[in-house]
Amino acid sequence: MKNNNLNQKKDNFTLEKLDWSTIQSEMKNKFGNDIYESWIKKIEFVNEFHDYILISVSTRFIRDWITSRYLDQILQLVRLYKKNINRIEFIVKNTESKEENILPKQHFTTNENVSFIKDSYLQYNRIDPNKKFDNFVLGFSNKLAYEASKKVSQDISHYNPLYIYGGVGMGKTHLLNAIGLSLKDKNKVMLIPAERFMYQFVRSIKLNEMVKFKEYFRNTDILLIDDIQFMNGKEAMQEEFFHTFNALLDKGSQIIVSADRPPNKLSRIQDRIKSRFSGGLVVDIQSPDYDLRYKIVQLKSEELRVFYSDQFKISEEAQRFISTEIRTNIRELTGALNRIISYSRIYNKIATLSEVKIILKDLLNLSENKVTIDLIQSIVCKFFKISKNEMLSSRRSRYLVRPRQAAIYLTKILTSKSLPEIGREFSNRDHTTIIHSVKTIERLIKEDTELSGNIDHLKNQILYNRQNEV
C-alpha cells in the first residue's frame, strides 16, 4: 500500500509547492511515533527555494541530533515529492529572544543565520569534514573508485577528468568530499552539485553577473561536480559548461564528476560533453557485498561510540543482522544503524533482534523472503559436497551433522522463518533441535575460525546468488 502511495506522489514534483504536513505524516510513518514525537514534530517548515528547503528548530542540539540521524532520510522523503530539492538547511531559533519567535515566517529569510542565500556560490563550497579517505571503508565494489580518487589527490590531472558513477548511497559524494578535503589546503577547490551549478548559471544571467560566474569557475584548480545526471540545462548553459570544462582541462586543473550512470547513458547532456567525460578515466562503484557492509557497520558503530562517549549499546547480532538485511545501499545501512542506536539511547537498553526487526520494519519489508530455505540448502549442500537427501535424512554421521546445523543456522539468520517453520523444512525436526543447531553454530563461530570463515562465505554466496537472480 505504501509503495503505491509513493509512486503516485513521484509525479508531482517541481510544479506544486511542497506540502509540509504530508511530509510530516510520511515522517511519522517512517520513523515511528516515538522518534517522531521526540524530534521530528518539533521541526517547523520555513520556506522552499529552488533546490533546497529551509526548516527551523529550537535548539542547536535538536538540529545536530536530527542532522546526524534523520536528515538523509527526511531529504529522501522530500525528494519523492520534489526531485529538485537536494539539501535541507536549518535555522536555529534563538530561544532567548522571544521576539524572533513571533515574527512572521518569511522574515526568517533575512535573518543573519541564513546569509548564505545571498552571494551563495562564493560561500556555497561545503566540504564535509567528516567524509574523508580515512573513514571510507574499502571492499571489492568500491576499490577502483577509491584508488582512482586517491591517485587524483596525489597526482593532479593524472586522470582527467575522473568520472565516478554508481547508484544512490554508494559513496560517490563521500569520495568527492574526500578528494576536496585532501586538496583544499593547497588548491582552490570547488565542490558543487550539478543542480547548483545550473542554478548559479541561471541566476548569474539574471543578475548580469556572467563575468563573475565565469571567472569564478575558471579559476578553480579542482572542480568537483556531483550528480551530473541532474544537469539538464538549455543549450546556452551546456555551452558555458563545455567551455569552462575545456578551459579547466587546458590549464591543467583537475575535474572530477560523479553520476548515477555511465557517460553514454546521460540523457540530457550534449554528446560532445559526454565524449569529454569518456575521454578521462571512468570508474564505477557497485553494490556493497556482505563483507563491506559489515565493515561499514563496525566502523560507523565505533565512530558513534566515540561521539556519544559510550552511551549506547548495540549487539554483535544486530550488527550482523543489518549487514545481512540492508543490502540496497550504504546510506540506508547507516540509517538503519542510527535508528538502532537512537533506540538504545532513548530507552537505555540493547535492542534485541526482534526489537531491531520492529525498528527497521519499513526497511526490511523491501527485501524480505527472497532468500528461500531451498536456496540455502542447495548452496550449503554444494559447499560441503553432500546431497540434499543426506542433509535432510536423520543420519547422524559427523560429516552430515555440521552442514545440517550450518544450513539451519543460516536459515534462522537469513530468513524471518520461525523455529517450528524451519523445523518443518528440515524433515519435521523438533524446534528444540533447531535451537540446538543454532546455538551450536553460534558457539563454534566464536571458537573455530575455519567454520566461521565458511559461514561468512556461505552467507555471502546465498545473498549474492539472490542478487544475481533479481
Please report, as ranges, the residues that interact with ligand ADP according to CB under 6 A: 131, 135-137, 142, 166, 168-174, 296, 330-331, 334
- Residue 207 touches which of ligand ADP, Mg ion, none (CB < 5 to 8 A by kind)? none
- Residue 131 touches which of Mg ion, ligand ADP, none (CB < 5 to 8 A by kind)? ligand ADP
* Site residues, Mg ion (CB under 5 A): 173
Q: Which residues contact 87 (CB under 8 A, 6 or more apart)?
A: 51, 52, 75
Q: Number of C-alpha atoms within 13 angstroms, CB side, residue 339? A: 26
Grid cell locating 460: 555471502
**Which residue number, 215 or 302, has a Cβ lying nearer to ligand ADP?**
302
- Residue 168 touches which of ligand ADP, Mg ion, none (CB < 5 to 8 A by kind)? ligand ADP
d(Cα 393, Cα 330) in Å, to the nearest integer?
A: 41
**Which residue number, 56 or 301, has a Cβ lying nearer to ligand ADP?**
301
Q: Which residue is nearest to ligand ADP (CB)?
A: 171
**What is the residue-wise DSSP string for 173-188?**
HHHHHHHHHHHTTTS-
CB of residue 218 to ligand ADP, shortest distance in Å: 26
- Pick from 407, 404, 435: which is nearest to 419 by CA? 435
CB of residue 395 to ligand ADP, shortest distance in Å: 45
Q: Which residues contact 155 (CB under 8 A, 6 or more apart)?
A: none
CB of residue 226 to Mg ion, shortest distance in Å: 6
**Which residue number, 286 or 372, has a Cβ lying nearer to ligand ADP?**
286
- Residue 412 touches which of ligand ADP, Mg ion, none (CB < 5 to 8 A by kind)? none
**Which residue number, 222 or 410, has a Cβ lying nearer to ligand ADP?**
222
CB of residue 310 to ligand ADP, shortest distance in Å: 21
Q: Which residues contact 48 (CB under 8 A, 6 or more apart)?
A: 17, 18, 54, 82, 85
d(Cα 182, Cα 108) in Å, to the nearest integer?
A: 35
- Residue 82 touches which of Mg ion, ligand ADP, none (CB < 5 to 8 A by kind)? none
Question: Cβ distance 75 to 61 under 8 Å?
Answer: no
CB of residue 336 to ligand ADP, shortest distance in Å: 12
CB of residue 13 to Mg ion, shortest distance in Å: 18
d(Cα 247, Cα 231) in Å, to the nearest integer?
A: 19
**Which residue number, 108 or 136, has a Cβ lying nearer to ligand ADP?**
136
Pure H helices in 194-329: 194-206, 210-218, 235-250, 271-278, 290-307, 316-325
**What is the residue-wise DSSP string for 298-323?**
HHHHHHHHHHTTT-----HHHHHHHH
CB of residue 374 to Mg ion, shortest distance in Å: 38
**Which residue number, 331 or 404, has a Cβ lying nearer to ligand ADP?**
331
Grid cell locating 94: 534563538
**Which residue number, 161 or 169, has a Cβ lying nearer to Mg ion?**
169
- Residue 169 touches which of Mg ion, ligand ADP, none (CB < 5 to 8 A by kind)? ligand ADP
**Which residue number, 81 or 165, has a Cβ lying nearer to ligand ADP?**
165
- Residue 142 touches which of Mg ion, ligand ADP, none (CB < 5 to 8 A by kind)? ligand ADP
CB of residue 227 to ligand ADP, shortest distance in Å: 7
Asked if the peptide bond before residue 161 counts as cis, ω within 30 degrees of 0, the response is yes
CB of residue 91 to ligand ADP, shortest distance in Å: 23
Element (H, E) at 25: helix 20-35
- Residue 137 touches which of Mg ion, ligand ADP, none (CB < 5 to 8 A by kind)? ligand ADP
Q: Which residue is nearest to Mg ion (CB)?
A: 173
- Pick from 106, 1, 104: which is nearest to 47 by CA? 106
In this structure, what is the dihedral angle of CA atoms 372, 376, 382, 388, given to the nearest 10 degrees? -80
